[in-house]
Structure 1
Amino acid sequence: MSARPTFHLTLLSLLSLLLCFLYLATADDLQILLTIKSALQNTNTNIFNSWEPNNPPCNFAGITCSQGSITSIDLSNQYLSGSIPFNSICQLNSLESLSLGQNHLHGPITEDIANCVRLQYLDLGNNFFSGSVPDLSPLSNLKYLYMNNSGFSGNFPWNSLSNMTGLLVLSLGDNPFERALFPNSILGLTQLNWLYLTNCSIEGEIPRGIGNLTELINLELSDSFISGEIPQEISRLKKLWQLELYNNNLTGKFPSGFGNLTNLEYFDASMNYLNGDLSELRSLTQLVTLQLFYNEFSGEIPAEFGEFRKLVNFSVYDNKLTGPLPERIGSWAEFDYIDVSENFLTGRIPPEMCKRGTMRELLMLQNNFSGEIPATYSNCTSLTRFRVSNNSLSGVIPSGIWGLPNLGFIDLALNQFEGSITSDIGNAKSLSQIMVADNRFSGNLPPEISKATELIAIDLSNNQFSGDIPATIGELKQLYSLHLQSNNLSGPIPSNIGFCAALNDLNMAHNSLSGHIPAAIGLLPALNSLDLSENELSGEIPASFSSLRLSLFDLSNNQLTGPIPESLSNAAYNGSFRGNRGLCSQNIKFFRRCSSDSGGSGAHWVVVLCVAVGAIVLIVSVSFVLHVKKSSKGDGDRSLKEDSWDVKSFQVLSFTEDEIIDSIKEDNLIGKGGSGNVYKVVVANGKELAVKHSWNSDSDGRKKSRSTTPMLAKSTGRKSSEFDAEVRTLSSIRHVNVVKLYCSITSKDSSLLVYEYMPNGSLWDRLHTFRKMTLDWETRYDIAVGAAKGLEYLHHGCERPVIHRDVKSSNILLDEVLKPRIADFGLAKIVQANGSKDSTHVIAGTHGYIAPEYGYTYKVTEKSDVYSFGVVLMELVTGKRPIEPEYGENKDIVSWVSSKLKTKESVLSMVDSTIPEGHREEAIKILRIAILCTARLPALRPTMRSVVQMLEAAEPCKLVGIIISKDGGSKKEEI
C-alpha cells in the first residue's frame, strides 16, 4: 500500500479533530453570550434580537470575531441595565475589546474582571456602578481604560496601573473616589496621550514626574483638591493640546518654560490662587480658549495676545490685572466672548473685537476703562450681552447700540455717559434688561421703548431724564422691574401701567410726577415693592391699594389727601405716608382722624361695603338654590348638583362659584387628561379662566358613573391625591412663571380648580401639534429662561422645596405674549421639613422625559426635574419630540443628541431648520446646557439655580469642554 492514502487519511482525521474543537469552542462561546444576554436587561433597543441559540455567535449584533474566535463585544449606548457577569465574559479567551459604556449598568464590578487578561480596550464609562474598583493588575495588555462618570467610590487601586505600561488613554474622572495623592503609578505610563482625572478626589501637589508623560495631548486634573505650584516639568509636555486645571487650590506663578507648550489650544486654570503676571503665556500663539478667572494674577496683559490669530474666548475676570487691553485682541478669528470684569484695567475698549461679526458677549464690568464706546459696535448685530458698568467711560452711546437686534442685556451703569436713549431702541426686539443708572443721560424717554417688548428690567435711575413717562409703557407685558427714581420726569403716571401684569418692583421716587396715582397699580398681581415718594402726586390713595402686600411701600412727601386705607394702617408701613398733610387715618396716631366727610368716612365705607356684600351673598344664595332645584329636575347635560360646595380662595376673586359651575359643560371643554377635564370659562366681567374638573374617587379607588355624559361620569368618596397635591403646592406659590391658582371649589363628589387661562396653550402644542406655530429663536430662548426660573423658584425659593416630577413641554403653558408658566402639579412632592424627600414605588412622569435613575431607584430628587427640563431644552433647540421614529427603536432625544456630537456639521444639523442661520450657534449654547441637565448621574447635573445662571449668561467658554463620547474627558472641541 502506498503512503499517499495514509497521508490523506491522517489529514482528514486532523481536519475532523480541528472542526470538532472549533465546534466545541463555538458552542461554549454561544452559551457565554446567552448568559450575558440573560444578565443584561434591554428594553429600548433591538441589540439582542440576533442573540438566538440557532444563530452563530459571530453573527450576533455587537460581536466581532477573528478566525472564529470572539475578539470584541460592543454594547455601548444601548440602554442596558443589570450587573455585568464578568465571570462569564472573561471565559472568552480571545476577547480583546469590551465596550459597555453609556448604559444604565449598576451594582459592583467583581474581581472576575481580572481574568480578562487579553483585554486591550475596556470601556465601562458613563454608567451607575457602586462600590470600589477591584485590583486590575492582571490587565497588563490594556491600552484604553474608560471608567469615567460611573459611580465608583472607595479607594481606586492606583498601584495596579503600574502593570499597564502600554496605556494610551486613562479616563477615571467624575467618580467619588476617596481622596488620594497624585498616583505615582501613572508617572511610569510614558505612552499616555489622554489622561482624564477631573473630579475624582486627587489631592496634594502635581508631581514633578508629570514631565515624563511627554506623549500627552490632553491632561485634565480639574475639580479636585490639588495644591502647591504648577511644576516646571510640565513645560516638557510639548504635545499638549488641552490643559485643564480649574477649580483647585493651586498657588504661585506660571513656571519658567511654560511658554514652551506652543501646541496648547485650550487652557483653563480658573478658580485657583495663582498669581504673578501672564508673561509666560505670550508665546502660546495657538490658543483658542484661555480661561484664568478667579485668581490673583497681576501686571499687564501681554501685548502679544493682540496677535493671537485663533483666540475665540478670553476670560480673566476677578483678578488684579492692570494696564490696557491689546488694541487688536479678538480681531483675527471669529471672536466670540471676552470677560475681563473686576480687574484694574485702563485705557480704551479695543475697537475690532467684532470685526468678523461673530462676537456674542462683551463683559468689562468694574475696571477703569475710559474714553467712548467705539462706533464699530453699533454694527455688531451678533452681540447678546454688552456690559461695561462701573468704569470711567464717557461720551454719547452710538445710536445703533440701542437697537442691536440680538442684544439681550445692555449695562452702562456707573459711568459718565451723556446724551439720550435714541428711538433705535424700538429695534431691540431681544432686549430683556437695560441698566444705565448713575450716568448723565438726559432728554425724554423715547416712546419707542415700548416696542422692546421683551424687556423685563429697566433701571434708568440717577440720571437727568425729563419729560413724561411714555404713555405706552403698558405694552411691556413682561416688565418685572422698573426703576426711574432720581430723574427730572414730570407729568402723570400712565394709567396703562396696570397692563404690566408681571411688575414686581416699581420705583419712581425723586421726580416731579403729578396727578393722581392710577388705581391699576393696586391691582398688579405680582407687585412686591412700590416707591412713589418725593413727587407731586395728589388725590386719594386708590382703594385698590387695600389688597397690596408689599415688602417696601413708600408714598411719602407728595400732596396726597383723604383716608389711608385701613389695611395699610399698620406698623409695617410707618413712615410710608409722611409729608402728605392732607391724609387722615383712624388708626395711625401721627395723622389727624378722618371726619365723616373726609373723602368719605371710613366707617361709612365699611357699612356700604358690608351691605353690598350681604346683598351679593343673598342673590348668589338664592340663585344657587334655584340652580340646584333646576338641576335636580333632570338637567341632562350636567350632573354637578351636589347640595354644598366648599370654596377656598388663594387670590382676590372677581367671580362666584356659580359662574364656574354653570360653565362646566361640553361646549366649554378644551382638554382632557388623566387627572380630569379642562374647561375654558368666561365670567361676567370678561375674565377668562381655565377650570380643571375631576370626580372624586370612592374608597376602593373606582369611579362610579351616574351620568350618560362620559366626560361627567361622577363618583363619590375622597378627593384624589393628585388634586390634594396640586392644591397644597399651588396655593402657597406666587411666581410669575408658575400658573396662578385662584381657588378650589369642592363638594363630596366633585373637585374644581380655577386657574388663570393661557390663550396660547402649551409649548408642546406650539412645537409639535396642529396648533404648531413658528417660534423665533428669541421667543424660544425666553420660554426656556422663564420656565427655568419657575422651576428654580420651586426648588430654591419655597419654604420647603417642591419637586414637580412631571416637567414636560405640555406642562409649560403660554400666555398671550408667549410667556411661560409651569403647570400641572398633580404629581408634585414637597421636600419634608427634615430634609428627606418623598419616594414612591410608581415611576412618576412621562416617557421620554423620565430621568434614567428611575430604572434602578425610586428616589425622587430635584435633579429628576433638571433632567426633564433638559429634554424640554432639546425640544426647543431641535423642534423634535422626545420620542421620534428616526431615533431608532426604543431610543429617545437624549441618545439621539449624544450620537450627533461628532462633528460641527452634525451638531448644527440638529438645530430646528426654522431657526435662522444667525441664531444657530446661540441655539447650540442652549443645547450644551441641555446636555449638562441630562447627565446620567444625578450628582453631575446642575441645580436649577445654576441652569438659570447659565441660560442668562449663555457663556460658551464655560460650557466648552463637556461634550465627548468615547474620550471620557471634557474635550474642548468647538461645535
Structure 2
Amino acid sequence: MGSTIGQLLVIIFIPIWLATAQNDDFVYLRALKENWENTPPSWDDSSDPCSGWDGIRCTNGRVTSITLASMGLIGSLPGDIGQLSELEILDLSYNKGLVGPLTSAIGNLKKLTNLILVDCGFSGPLPNTLGDLENLVYMSLNSNGFTGPIPPSIGNIRKLYWLDLADNDLTGSIPVSNGRTTPGLDMLTNALHFHFGGNRLEGDIPARLFTSNMSLIHLLFENNRLTGPIPSSLGLVKSLEVVRLDRNLLTGNVPPNINNLTGVFEMFLSNNQLTGPVPNLTGLNVLNYLDLSNNTFARSDVPSWFSTLQSLTTLHMYNTNIVGELPAALFSIPQLQQVDLSYNRVNGTLDLGSTHSDQLQSVNLQNNQISDFSQRRQYSNSIQLTLVGNPICLESGVTDRFCSPPTTNNSLYSTPPNNCVPTTCGSGLVSSPNCRCAYPYTGNLFFRAPSFSDLGNSTVYQSLHNEMITSFRRSQLPVDSVSLKNPTKNLDNYLVINVEVFPFGEERFNRTGIIGLGFSLSNQTFKPPREYGTYFFIGENYDFLLGASGTGHKSSNTGVIVGAAVGGCVLVVLLVLAGMYAFRQKGRAERANHESSPFALWDATNGSGAVPQLKGAKSFSFEELSKYTNNFSETNNIGAGGYGMVYRGSLPNGQLIAIKRATQGSTQGGLEFKTEIELLSRVHHKNLVSLVGFCFDQGEQMLVYEYIVNGTVKDSLSGRSGIRLDWMRRLRIALGAAKGLQYLHDLADPPIIHRDVKTNNILLDERLVAKVADFGLSKSLGDANRTHVTTQVKGTMGYMDPEYYMTQQLTEKSDVYSFGVVLLELITARNPIEKGKYIVREVKQAMDKSKELYNLQEVLDPTIGLSSQLKGLERFVDVALRCVEETGNQRPTMSDVVKEIENIMELAGLNPNAESASNSASYTDGSKGGYEHPYTNDSLFAYSGDHFPTKLDPK
C-alpha cells in the first residue's frame, strides 16, 4: 500500500515540479518568502507571485520589480535574489528587521536600475560585485550599518546617477582610479549625487576625484574623518550646487578657484582645521547658505564680498578670525534671515542700516569688540540681536535686551486644519488636516542642505505641503491630506520635519498604498521645492494594516496541517490540488501564449502591414487598461486627436501612463500604430518618450506611453502651459531634443528617421528634460539602403524638408531640416507659418551679421530674456540656418548639431552634461489655466500625402 501511494505521489508531483521549473523566478521568490517573516498575506493566498502578490511586478511572466517599503519584514537577503535575472527595481526600505550582509549575489542582477535599501538593518562590508550592476542608475544604501571601505568597483557603473552611502559606518579612503587597472569614483562622470556623509571615511580627498567633465550637483562628505587640503580640482566641477565638507579634519588653505563654483547654492566648510586667508567668494551670486565657522583662518579684514552675495539667506562665520567693522549693506541683502559672526574681532559701530532685510530674524555678534550700536533707540524685538560679550554691553548700567545671552528659537509649526474643526479620535487614530480620523503613515523628512534658516516661516512649509500633495496625487496614490510638524535642526545641521500622510476615503491604508508611498519617498519620486534641497526619508512601520498578523508568514503552520492528515484523506486532497493546479497552469499557459504572441489575430490585410516584430513592449488586455483609467472615464480624458482619445491612467505600481486609444472600429492609423510599437519597443534613450506597452484586444488599438507632465514645447512657447522658458532653458531643450534625434540616426540599428520633428512632438518632463515623441510617421533605413528611403511624402507643413517633398527621397537630413525650424521657433516663439509668413524667410530677411544679436531683436520672443543674457545666440542662429539649407548635403548631421549646441552652452556658462531643473514648479507664472495635453495628435497642419500646397518656398 505504501509503495502504491508513493508511486501516486510521484505521478502527481513530477508534472507539478516540471511546470514550476519552467519559471524559476517563482522558486526564488518563494525562497525569499521562507527567509522573511511578516510577508504580506497575499503571498500565502496566491501560488502565483505575478497574480496578486503585493509588492511584486512581473513582465511577461518574469519578476521585474520588488517594492516592499515599511512592511515590517524580518530576516536576511539570501543569495537567491541574484537569480531573478530580469529584476529592475529592488526597494526594501524602512524594514529595520532585515539584517545581515548584502549578498555578493546582488551583482548578478545585470538589469537592475534601482537598488534602494534605505534604513534597514544591513551590516558588514559592501560587496565588490556592486560594480557588476552595469545598468544601475539609482543606488541608495544609506542609514544602515555597512562597514569597511567603499568598493572601487562602483566606478564601473557608468550609468549611475544617484549614489547614496551616507549614515553607515564605512571606513577607509575615497577610491579613485589608477590607470586602466583599478576603477574609482572619478569614473562616474554621469553621476549627479555623491552622498557620503555620516561615515568614518579617512585620508585625503584625492585631487583625481574631480574633473571638468563631471556632472555632479551634490557633493556631501560631511561628518567624516577626512584630512589634508581641499583639492583645487574641486573648482573644475562647475555643475555643483551643494558642497558639504563640514565636520572633518581638513587642513590647509581653501583653494582660490573655489569661486569658480558659480552655481553653488549651499556651501558648508565649517568645523575643520582650515588655515590661510578667509576664501574670496566673489562671484557666487546664487549662494544662499554659507557656513565657514570654526576654522583657524589667518586674521582677515571683514570680507568686501559679504554685501555682494545678494542671494544669501544665511551667513555663519563664527570663530573665523574676522577683524573690522561690518558694512551696513550686509543687512540689506533682500533675503537675509540669519547672521552669526560671534567669537570674532568685529569692532566699531554696528549699523543694521535703515532698510535692512524684512526677513532678517537673528544677528549673533556675541564676543566681539563692538563699541556702539547706531539703532540702539529704535531697536525692537523684530530681530533677535545678540551683543553680549562686546564692549557696548560693559558700559555702566546697560540693560539693553541685546546684551542678554541668545535664546533658542524652536519652531512649533504644524499644518493647520483646512477650514474645519479638528475631530476627537479614538485610540491610535489621528485627526487629519481635513478633520477626519484615520491611521496615518508617518516618518521624518531629513533635508541635508536647505537654503533657508528661518524655521518659523509658515509660507515655506505650505509650499512643501502643497508639493507633497500634488506629487502623491500625480502618482495616483490614495492620499487625502498631509500634515507637517515640528521642524527642527539636528546635530548634523539637517532640517528634520515630521510627516503624517492620511489615507483617502478610508480609515487606514492598504498594503498597496503603503508600498506606493514608501517607494515614492525612497526613490525620490517626490521632489521638494528647490529651497529645501536634497532629502532622505525615514519611514516607520505601518501597524494598522488589515489582516496584519505580525507573527510571520502562514506557511509555518502548513507543515502541522499536512502532518495531521492521514491515509486516504491525504491522497484525496493531493489529487484535488493537482487537478486545480493543472487547471490553473493551463490558464496561465494560455495567458502566457497570448502575451508571447499578442498579434495572433493581427489582420495584415487592413493596411497595417505584417505582424509587428517587438522587443520588450508589454501587451495589455482591454480589461487591464479599462481598470487603470477608471473605465476610460471622462475625468481621465486628457485630450483628443485624429488618432482618437487620450487618457491618463495609473499602473498598479503607481506609474502614471498616457493611453492613446484609436477610434473604435477605425482602421485609420493602423500602420502608424504598428510603426510606433515596433520602433519604440527597441529604442531607449532619456530624450525619447518611452513606450510602456500596447493593447491589441477586442478590436481595440491602444498605445501606452510614459506620462509626461509638462506638455509640449509648443505649449510652453505659446504660454499655454504657464512654464516660463528663458534662454538657458531653451538651450537645454534644444540639446535634449537634438540628442534624442542623434540617437535615432546614429545608434538605432537600423537607423530611424522620425519624419515629423516639431515642437508639438517634443515633450517636457517634470525636470523640463526634452523628450522626442510621436513615431507614427517614422521610417527605418533598412540594410539594403542606409542612405535614403523612397516613400510617400508625409509630415507637417512648415517643418517639412523641401528636398524630400520634391524627390520623395527621405534621408536623415530631412529630420535635420525640421529640427532647424524647431531651433528658429525656440528663439522666436512663432509658428513656422504664421499669417502667410514663413519663419525661415523672416529670420533670413531680418538678420544682419554686422550688428548685435544679428539685428534679430524684432523677431525674438520677448520672454526669452534680456539681450545681455543671450550669450551664444548668434551661433545658435548660425546652426539653425545651416540646418535649413536647401539641399541635404549642405546640412550638418545631428551629431554635429549636438556638438555645436554643447559648445554654445559652455559659452553661455552652462554645463551641457548637467540635468535640467529639479522640478518645473519654479518656472510657471501661475497665470495660465489648463492646456491641451502633449499626447493629443491634432497638431499644426498634419499632412499625410494628398493635401499639401503645391509650392513651398524654403527661403
Q: Please, what TM-score do these two structures have when normalized by structure 1? A: 0.41
What is the TM-score with the length of structure 2 in the denominator? 0.42
The higher-RCO structure (CA 8 Å, 6+ apart) is 2
Look at both structures and tell me which one has the larger radius of gyration over its CA atoms: 1
